[in-house]
Amino acid sequence: MGEAKRRKELGLPPKASKQKKVSREERLFSWSPWPTKYQMSRYPYAPIVTMALGLIFLIWGFELNS
């Protein structure tokens, strides 16, 4: 609490939160909490890689059962 008290004594405003609130417009789907358009533009191949890994595991699982 020392930092808050010092800022108050100096007449400075409280620290602002660094977390960015994600609005509904930034989401890919409005009902989904993830991923945002920023994340999709930052990692454009993530859905493709995830789908490929899923298919590989699915095929591997069928091979183990036969």
Please write the tens of the pLDDT for every residue from 2-40. Answer: 888 888 899 988 888 777 665 666 666 667 666 666 777
Q: What is the pLDDT of residue 24?
A: 60
CA dihedral 5, 6, 10, 13 (to 10 degrees): -60
Q: What is the pLDDT of residue 52?
A: 96
Does 66 reside within a domain?
yes
Q: What is the pLDDT of residue 27?
A: 67
Does 16 reside within a domain?
no
Does 13 reside within a domain?
no
Does 43 reside within a domain?
yes
Does 47 reside within a domain?
yes
Q: How many separate domains does the chain show? A: 1
pTM of the predicted model, to two decimals? 0.44
Q: Which residues of 24-63 are buried (b: 16+ CB within 10 A; e: fewer)?
A: eeebeeeeeeebbeeeeeeeeeeeeeeeeeeeeeeeeeee
Q: What is the pLDDT of residue 14?
A: 85
Does 3 reside within a domain?
no
* Measured distance CA(59)–CA(3) in Å, rounded: 57
Does 34 reside within a domain?
yes
Q: What is the pLDDT of residue 22?
A: 59
Q: Where in the sequence is the domain holding 32, given as residue range(s)?
A: 23-66
Does 65 reside within a domain?
yes
Give the C-alpha distances (Å, rounded to integers) separating 18 from 10, 15, 58.
22, 9, 41
